[in-house]
Chain A
Amino acid sequence: MKQEGKKKLWQEYQKEIATNNFFYVRSCVRQNFFPAAEQTFLRIMRESLGKTVRENPGHTTCTGIGYHCDVVPFNTTMTVIARQFALMTEAGLENLAVSCITSFGLYTEIIETWKHFPETEAKTREYLRKATGREFSIPTNLAHASDILYKLRHEVAARAVYPLVNQTTGKPLRVVEHIGCHYSKMFPHKGVGGAEYPYVLAGLVEALGGEIVDYPERRHCCGFGFRQYVVRANRGYSLSCSKKKFDSMEPYKPDLIITNCPGCPYFLDRWQYVISEMQGKTYGENGHGIPVFTYEELAGLVLGYDPWDIGLQTHQVSAEPLMIKMGVRFDPEKKYQGKNGVNMGRPKKPSHLRIDMDEIQQTPVTGYPIQMTI
């Protein structure tokens, strides 16, 4: 399809996204695997952009993974989510910022269910009242956190220290964007750009100077599949889905993968390691993998945050090849140091996947200006 056609389609799938005063609800998966990513989102919002984002330590899992593993009934999930709405209401806020894609999909599904079946909303209110005594308002604005960074992309771009440009060639970095399935596959009109041409990450990447790679399996699931990963006997499903994506994107030589779902960066990072152990196969340059980032990790790098403060040392696939291309100034030794310089030792090296950067020297920063493409 021609670019003009895509842009027209995208315009049909725009959504209202608030720009300030959010109540933030966290993701179980991200807190466990990439806890610094959520902190980076809050830092970008509060410190770099001056926005108000509040949270309540008493908010809990939405039960989403349990729901999609079919052990938590729909009524239970609706009531737990109604409790999150109640905490937002009690905080005097109306805009809900959701960290997790599974949660975002469920929040959307539940609000839609309540619209189509008003008796389910009434029943949920009754359950919540009985269990907790709480009342709630439905959010005026429901946005995934990646929606919010998309909405604020030009504000982020205006503060960019290291745009998504190869500092050696001056060309835009080539980016694979991977959208979590539950962002818009169920309710295309609730996502920026819909389900076929979601623009939420593409728009952010383009604003930060990068170029999106189109490849055949762009919309394929990463393979989480809930029970298909959680139960050991089923895990081949998950690995096979990710491998299908890697094999499909490899010929396009992407410099990085950006994701907006909790599970996707985990699987796209870790399954590269597993494939390298099983088959000796690596997908990046010089035996490295293709670095995988969450949207706020990438935005944090662009804004000049220290890569080891935003958690990039917790990835199995090294982020350094990308950082060097971007011209990010960083101290390789600090990767393995705690806050006060405490030496934390080093992780073991995988059998095949390269995680060291011995062969690459940091190139001097030449200062290419940010490329505003839209």
Chain B
Amino acid sequence: MPENYYQQLSSDVRFTEGLTGCLNCGTCTAICPAAEFYNYDPRIIVETVQSRDSEKIRELLSGEMIWYCGECMSCKTRCPRNNAPGLLIMALRALSVKTGLFTMSEKGRQQLVLKRTMGEWILKYGYCLYREEMTIEDHPEQGPTWEWQNSNLENLFERFDVKYRGDGPGPLRKIPDDALRELKRIFDVTGATDLFNFIEEQSAKKAEEMGLDFDNRLDCGYVHQIYNLDSGIHTREQVI
């Protein structure tokens, strides 16, 4: 008996909220920022899902297209039937990760680096992102102001009444250890920890298959590739 992917999607509340009957008008594609940049068409995603054809849905889960959406939800606002292709994308991505099919696409494989950065930063710092992890080498767009700020953090933050990594309330405070422990327990009981482990396991298998070195560092061969590689197949030819 082949997998019934439509049935699995239907168990996700975001799926049932996001699909109320598509009339294929294409308004979502017209408004979609991703459709302008990538070879992407949310209308086709909805049409495919609505077909309930498990083989076609499997192709979506294994392919590049579901990873192009920016989850801005502009589609939700304009759809005349109140569908939300962006919510369907979230359900499709969750299923792609759950089934391990995410490692079959270049963009899907990026899940490992997202888990190892913000996924782990959440538990380590209590923040989705953290200043000292944002290097100018990795983020040259931060500009000269970022380098200047980093050279003067103490004086600058004193001026703003910011106690960087300090106790008590305020921006960039140290999140208390008991709060971090609660966060970890929430991740354990709600399945996030298991999901993190599964992403690691599936990625390790894929790295072996691809002949790339794989360990727990952020600069191992596999992570380096998934973070940096743009094979050039994703975007439209003329991008402004």
Chain A interface (Cβ within 8 Å of chain B)? 26, 28-32, 35-36, 38-39, 55-61, 63-66, 68-76, 79-80, 83, 105, 113, 116-117, 120, 127-128, 130-132, 181-182, 185-186, 188, 195-196, 219-221, 223-228, 230-237, 239-241, 243-244, 247, 270-271, 273-274, 308-309, 311, 313-316, 338-339, 342, 344-350
Contact = CB atoms under 8 A, between A and B. Distances in A.
Contact of B71 (A71, A83, A225, A344): A225
A35 B172 contact: yes
A66 B172 contact: no
B77 A196 contact: yes
B102 to A, nearest CB: 9
The prevalent SS among residues of A at the interface is: helix
A69 B17 contact: no
A271 B183 CA distance: 34
Contact of A225 (B34, B126, B141, B228): B34
Closest 8 CB pairs of A and B: A225-B70, A338-B155, A347-B148, A35-B171, A36-B160, A131-B185, A348-B144, A58-B179
Interface size bracket, B side = 35 or more
Contact of B228 (A59, A233, A314): A233
A31 B172 contact: yes
Q: Which of B113, B126, B142, B190 has the most CB of A within 10 A?
A: B190
B148 A346 contact: yes
Contact of A243 (B128, B130, B240): B240
Given A131-B186, A221-B33, A31 B240 contact: no
A290 B116 CA distance: 36
Contact of B190 (A73, A182, A220): A73
B73 A182 contact: yes
Contact of B240 (A71, A116, A244): A244
Most chain A beta carbons < 10 A, residue from B93, B127, B175: B127
B172 A345 contact: no
B110 A79 contact: no
A117 B15 CA distance: 13
B70 A221 contact: yes
A71 B111 contact: yes
Given A71-B119, A308-B159, A350-B143, A29 B129 contact: yes
Contacts of B157: 35
B145 A347 contact: yes
B167 interface: yes
B159 A80 contact: no
A128 B187 CA distance: 10
27 contacts: A31-B127, A32-B130, A35-B157, A39-B171, A58-B175, A61-B122, A66-B114, A72-B119, A72-B192, A75-B191, A76-B186, A76-B192, A116-B13, A181-B74, A186-B84, A219-B74, A224-B70, A227-B114, A233-B110, A233-B228, A241-B70, A270-B143, A316-B143, A338-B152, A338-B159, A339-B155, A345-B151
